[in-house]
Amino acid sequence: MTPREILRRLFDAAIAAADPALCVPANLPKDDGGRLIVIGAGKASAAMARAVEQQWSGRLDGLVVTRYGHGVPCERIEIVEAAHPVPDAAGESAALRMLAKVQNLNENDRVLALISGGGSALLAAPAAGVSLAEKRAITAALLKSGASISEINCVRKHLSAIKGGRLAAAAWPASVLTLAISDVPGDDPAVIASGPTVADPTTAVDALKVLDFYGIAIPLSLRARLESGALETPKPGDPRLVHTEFRLIASPRQMLEAAANAAWQLGITPLILGDAIEGEAREVGKALAGMALSCGRHEFPAKKPCVLLSGGETTVTLKGEGRGGRNTEFLLGLALALDGATGIHALAADTDGIDGSEDNAGAFVGPDTLQKAREIGLDIRAHLAKNDAWGYFSALDDLLVTGPTRTNVNDFRAILVGIE
């Protein structure tokens, strides 16, 4: 088995561990004969809805919204596709319809919320006094700024009519059970898809601090609404959230453990570095290259053959006009720091199958990456300077293209050491 085949097997094992068909059924509520209203949002929400339909024989209806291309056929639950990561009118319409679906319920009604990464952009109903155009502009600016996902979602919640606990508040006094697949460092329920069914511990003042720190201009009228508290979200202890329950059914840690088990089966020692690694993508690549080189030269902190596994969500501060995502930019930083070191191969990919806004999940790096690039006239530093990781790996035919996986447990990184 080649190093690239090994890396792909580990990635496939990670994806399989977060398959909604595997993790949804065991967490469904008991069927009491009443109606179950299903709502949801995220890149995995359509596959989660299908898993519910396949297991639930009782009365069922609902609506979930997923990213374009991530839908699956369902019979009783409506699937809507919308834009990600910058919201569009389809997401706004779906979010408003979802709010309407859970309003005017009573204490005997039950709501099942299927939440996964990507839901923040897909639930695009702006708060009163906020336009979709303003939300789009602010979201785009945040994505370019290098802000962390927690910071971005803090802002999103306070500009939304549905996120930050507002969806569960609208459903009161009905009971709400949330099944969530985490794509955020730390698996914080209030951060996953901006926590539409979870009380929000952040404040409108916190959102303003994020915007000001990254120098993102907003209309004076919007600033006034944030400063006044008019856009505040439901907080812990809110009586409208008393009948809510949250269950985490798949996480980055679980997908890394699945990849580690697959590595053991191949006779390769896995070392899980962490499931919540954040930071500038290229700098994280440089840091992990140092660990890989240490394993290669000194067999520390792991003996060869070994694989360094990590997850989390890095960021890219956009300064150029190139194409790419955080995983391929991580690999540029890694390859540059490895400088052609022998016996080290790597894969980095987004588990949803889409790295950034391109058609690839990620890419591969090997000892020959820099040499192959030089032979066709590519300068890795120039590609880093213009944030053009996609162009670099596309020219080398080293992209990993999987198509939508219909799950999402964030980034997967594997650095294989000691196999030629």
Q: Could you tell me the domains of the chain?
A: 3-11+253-417 (3.40.1480.10), 31-250 (3.40.50.10180)
pLDDT tens digits, one per residue of 187-228 = 999 999 999 999 999 999 999 999 999 999 999 999 999 999
Task: Report pLDDT for 348.
Answer: 98
pLDDT tens digits, one per residue of 355-390 = 988 899 999 999 999 999 999 999 999 999 999 999
Is 90 exceeded by the pLDDT of residue 19?
yes
End-to-end Cα, the chain, rounded Å: 10
Is 90 exceeded by the pLDDT of residue 33?
no
Is 90 exceeded by the pLDDT of residue 5?
yes
Task: Report pLDDT for 320.
Answer: 87
pLDDT tens digits, one per residue of 399-418 = 999 999 999 999 999 999 99
Contacts by 375-384 with C-beta closer than 8 Å and gap 24+?
380/332, 380/335, 380/336, 381/336, 383/322, 383/332, 384/282, 384/329, 384/332, 384/333, 384/336
Q: What is the reported pTM? A: 0.93
Task: Report pLDDT for 69.
Answer: 96
Beta bridge partners of 221: none
Mean pLDDT confidence for 41-62 = 96
pLDDT tens digits, one per residue of 262-299 = 999 999 999 999 999 999 999 999 999 999 999 999 99
Q: Which residues contact 297 (CB under 8 A, 6 or more apart)?
A: none
- Report yes or no: 122 and 96 within 8 Å, Cβ to Cβ: no
Nearest to 368, CA basis, from 420, 309, 293: 420
pLDDT tens digits, one per residue of 162-197 = 999 999 999 999 999 999 999 999 999 999 999 999
Task: Report pLDDT for 372.
Answer: 98
- Report yes or no: 200 and 157 within 8 Å, Cβ to Cβ: yes
Q: What percent of the chain has pLDDT over 70?
A: 100
Separation CA 216–CA 210 (nearest Å): 9
* Residue corresponding to tokens 């009365």: 59
Mean pLDDT confidence for 340-352 = 97
Q: Which two tokens stand for residue 13?
A: 């094992």
Nearest to 153, CA basis, from 145, 161, 164: 164
pLDDT band at 32 (very low <50, low <70, confident <90, very high): confident
**48 torsion bin: left (phi>0), alpha (psi -120 to 50), beta (else):** alpha
Is 90 exceeded by the pLDDT of residue 420?
no
Is 90 exceeded by the pLDDT of residue 312?
yes
